[in-house]
């Protein structure tokens, strides 16, 4: 801690030089994984934070945030600091270190914007913030400019030793902490020269570490702990570990000879597993990312989309959809009417061309009757050909409604919009007839608006030309939201007055069934058809 911090988080203090009030940066150690190992002080600071920040790889899943989740208030601004590169190669002109240094500088600027505005920032860290932690890079860049306080946490070494129930050192034995990234010969030398050791940063280095342990004559005493204190925790002897399945959050412990004389526990078998896939590389700056926020609140948001929203400088979208994204004072919002998609796309691309990182926000999935097509269409113009554009999927309204009632879209199905703003009604009616005659279940988007009150009834009449009036129909309104309403009816009894623009209509096929289960109606379309053959 470089200065005494205020006693209560959430209230900035005057700068010692008499300047404007600035926030405090808190580096919070959360322990190795079990939320119950978080200290009382850390939990309090997390709960009362103005801004919660955390690091993650490009997949967007933050272990630190997951540990802290029981203590989050839900009202803090969240800053996801997503590494542009972890262990893979990069085309950055400065190489790997150049990409990482640029990322740290940018992340520090993002946090500084909040601190300068008087907001206290809590930066989450697994284990201890100053022990091989990402927090230290922000601390070094910001501690000279702002007040900082570090809250220590239980280290992974302590968690791993506890998981094994194995003392590491006794009497005058010396414990040495080593990174697995050292060259084999150097690692072996240091292992041979110490009584007890903890080797961090395994993952891809595991084979090298095991060879060094053998070279040092310590392999028979070495123990392995993976994801200590977490639900996925595994322990065992180093010799029995599959090198291709070792994650980064694993540690090798070599107890001292005296400490190891205490009887240990039996080793646990270590089953093989597939490595977690990594999402595509993000462009470092000046790009448009079209994101889908799902049908409702944060619970429907993918980690990938959450990370893209947190990284953005500008958010562009239809006003009500932007309102679903918690405000971040660092970002600029550009709200517009729902009928100006091309203009909205061009505005986003112009911002990106100037070097801004822009998130174009859609509800549901951006590729389903939403902004992805509009952005890509405008981006195909010559003036925007060099502006990077990415599309990140979201949970669609059709998926949400289908899941809420069962699985009416469980077999072949079509998605059709009733809006005739961008295509003639004759085309809509023709596609409804084609889908109905093909016996497809149909998810109907944009069924009704104030300017189009008649089309639900017209669509029903078109479908009744090919479908039995008893065909199941599901009306899903505001699924996932506070006003969620699910109505199960039939095509013949479909009342257009029950449908509005926030409703998605699902019309079943000839095989769609409605079953009573536990007092509720469940709707599903079997995957077998006619002769009982299973599809897919």
Burial (0-12, 13-18, 19+ Cβ within 10 Å), 327: exposed
Per DSSP, the three-state class of 371 is helix
The rounded distance, in Å, linking the Cα atoms of 363 and 264 is 54
| Sign of CA pseudo-dihedral 353, 359, 365, 369 | negative
Per DSSP, the three-state class of 397 is helix
Which secondary structure element, helix H or strand E, spans residue 523, and what is its range?
strand 520-524
- For residue 363, give the nearest of 305, 286, 435 by alpha carbon: 305
The rounded distance, in Å, linking the Cα atoms of 45 and 8 is 9
Q: What is the pTM of this model?
A: 0.60
Task: Assign residue 497 a region (left: φ > 0; alpha: ψ between -120 and 50; beta: otherwise).
Answer: alpha
CB 508 within 8 A of CB 526: no
Report the relative pairing of strands 503-507 and 441-445 from DSSP bridges.
Answer: antiparallel
- For residue 436, give the nearest of 408, 413, 470 by alpha carbon: 413
Q: What is the pLDDT of residue 530?
A: 64
Structure tokens at 50: 């103005």
CB 190 within 8 A of CB 176: yes
Looking at residue 446, the DSSP 8-state letter turns out to be: S
The rounded distance, in Å, linking the Cα atoms of 499 and 455 is 11
pLDDT tens for the chain, residues 1 to 536: 444 333 344 433 344 444 567 999 999 999 999 999 999 999 999 999 999 999 988 777 789 999 999 999 888 999 999 888 665 556 667 777 778 889 999 999 999 999 999 999 999 999 999 998 899 999 999 999 999 999 999 999 999 999 999 999 999 999 999 999 999 999 999 999 999 999 998 988 999 999 999 999 999 999 999 999 998 899 999 988 888 889 888 999 999 999 887 444 444 445 444 443 433 333 345 999 999 999 887 778 888 888 889 889 999 999 989 988 888 888 999 998 877 889 999 999 999 999 999 999 999 999 999 999 999 999 999 999 899 999 999 999 999 999 999 999 999 999 999 988 888 999 999 999 999 999 999 999 999 888 888 989 999 999 999 999 999 999 999 898 888 899 999 999 999 999 988 899 999 999 999 999 988 899 999 988 765 555 55
Q: Reading across the β-sheet that carries 314-318, which strands appear in turn?
A: 332-336, 314-318, 357-362, 287-292, 389-392
The rounded distance, in Å, linking the Cα atoms of 79 and 311 is 8
Structure tokens at 335: 């709200």
CB 410 within 8 A of CB 333: no
Q: What is the pLDDT of residue 281?
A: 36
Instruction: List, in sequence order, every beta strand (DSSP E) within 337-465.
Output: 357-362, 389-392, 406-407, 413-417, 441-445
Q: What is the pLDDT of residue 21?
A: 79
The rounded distance, in Å, linking the Cα atoms of 344 and 207 is 52
Per DSSP, the three-state class of 372 is helix
Domains and CATH numbers, the chain: 24-153 (3.40.1010.10), 157-261 (3.30.950.10), 287-395 (3.40.1010.10), 398-534 (3.30.950.10)
Report the relative pairing of strands 234-237 and 472-477 from DSSP bridges.
Answer: unpaired
Instruction: List, in sequence order, every beta strand (DSSP E) within 108-222.
Output: 121-125, 147-151, 175-179, 196-200
Residues in the chain: 536
| In 27-81, alpha helices (H) | 40-47, 63-68
Q: What is the pLDDT of residue 3?
A: 41
- For residue 45, give the nearest of 136, 159, 148, 154 by alpha carbon: 148
The rounded distance, in Å, linking the Cα atoms of 333 and 318 is 10
Which secondary structure element, helix H or strand E, spans residue 109, and what is its range?
helix 95-116
CB 390 within 8 A of CB 304: no
If you search the block for the tokens 């989050």, which residue do you land on? 72
Q: Reading across the β-sheet that carries 406-407, which strands appear in turn?
A: 406-407, 520-524, 513-517
Q: What is the pLDDT of residue 17?
A: 46
Q: What is the pLDDT of residue 9?
A: 45
Which secondary structure element, helix H or strand E, spans residue 374, and what is its range?
helix 371-379
The rounded distance, in Å, linking the Cα atoms of 203 and 98 is 23
Q: What is the pLDDT of residue 532?
A: 55
The rounded distance, in Å, linking the Cα atoms of 497 and 374 is 31
């Amino acid at each position: 801690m470089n200065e005494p911090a205020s006693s209560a988080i959430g209230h900035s203090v005057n700068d010692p030089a008499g300047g404007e009030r600035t926030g405090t940066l808190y580096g919070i150690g959360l322990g190795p994984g079990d939320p119950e190992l978080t200290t009382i002080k850390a939990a309090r600071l997390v709960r009362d934070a103005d801004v919660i920040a955390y690091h993650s790889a490009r997949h967007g899943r933050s272990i630190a945030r997951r540990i802290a989740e029981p203590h989050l208030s839900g009202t803090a601004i969240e800053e996801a600091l997503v590494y542009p590169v972890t262990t893979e190669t990069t085309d950055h002109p400065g190489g790997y270190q150049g990409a990482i240094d640029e990322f740290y500088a940018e992340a520090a600027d993002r946090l500084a914007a909040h601190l300068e505005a008087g907001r206290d920032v809590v930066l989450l860290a697994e284990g201890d913030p100053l022990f091989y932690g990402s927090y230290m890079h922000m601390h070094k860049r910001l501690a000279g400019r702002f007040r900082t306080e570090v809250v220590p946490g239980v280290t992974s070494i302590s968690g791993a030793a506890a998981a094994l129930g194995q003392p590491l050192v006794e009497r005058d034995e010396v414990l040495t902490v080593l990174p697995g990234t050292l060259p084999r010969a150097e690692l072996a030398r240091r292992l041979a020269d110490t009584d007890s050791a903890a080797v961090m940063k395994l993952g891809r280095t595991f084979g090298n570490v095991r060879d060094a342990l053998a070279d040092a004559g310590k392999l028979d005493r070495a123990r392995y702990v993976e994801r200590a204190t977490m639900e996925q925790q595994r322990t065992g002897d180093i010799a029995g570990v599959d090198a291709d399945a070792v994650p980064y959050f694993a540690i090798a412990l070599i107890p001292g000879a005296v400490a190891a004389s205490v009887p240990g526990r039996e080793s646990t078998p270590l089953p093989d597993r597939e490595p977690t896939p990594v999402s595509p590389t993000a462009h470092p700056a000046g790009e448009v990312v079209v994101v889908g926020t799902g049908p409702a609140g944060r619970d429907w948001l993918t980690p990938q989309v959450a990370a893209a929203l947190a990284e953005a400088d500008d958010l562009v979208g239809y006003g009500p959809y932007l309102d679903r994204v918690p405000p971040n004072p660092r970002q600029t919002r550009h709200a517009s009417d729902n009928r100006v998609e091309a203009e909205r796309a061009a505005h986003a691309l112009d911002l990106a061309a100037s070097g801004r990182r822009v998130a174009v926000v859609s509800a549901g999935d951006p590729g389903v009757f939403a902004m992805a097509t509009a952005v890509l269409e405008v981006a195909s113009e010559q003036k925007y050909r060099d502006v990077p554009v990415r599309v990140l999927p979201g949970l669609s309204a059709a998926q949400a409604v289908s899941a809420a009632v069962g699985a009416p879209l469980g077999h072949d199905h079509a998605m059709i919009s009733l809006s005739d703003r961008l295509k003639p009604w004759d085309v809509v009616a023709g596609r409804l007839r084609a889908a109905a005659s093909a016996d497809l279940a149909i998810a109907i988007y944009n069924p009704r608006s104030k300017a189009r009150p008649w089309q639900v009834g017209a669509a029903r009449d078109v479908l009744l030309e090919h479908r039995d009036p008893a065909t199941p129909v599901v009306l899903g309104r505001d699924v996932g939201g506070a006003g969620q309403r699910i109505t199960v009816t039939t095509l013949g009894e479909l009342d257009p007055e029950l449908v509005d623009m926030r409703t998605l209509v699902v019309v079943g096929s000839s095989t769609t069934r409605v079953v009573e289960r536990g007092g509720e109606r469940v709707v599903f379309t079997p995957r077998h058809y006619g002769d009982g053959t299973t599809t897919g």
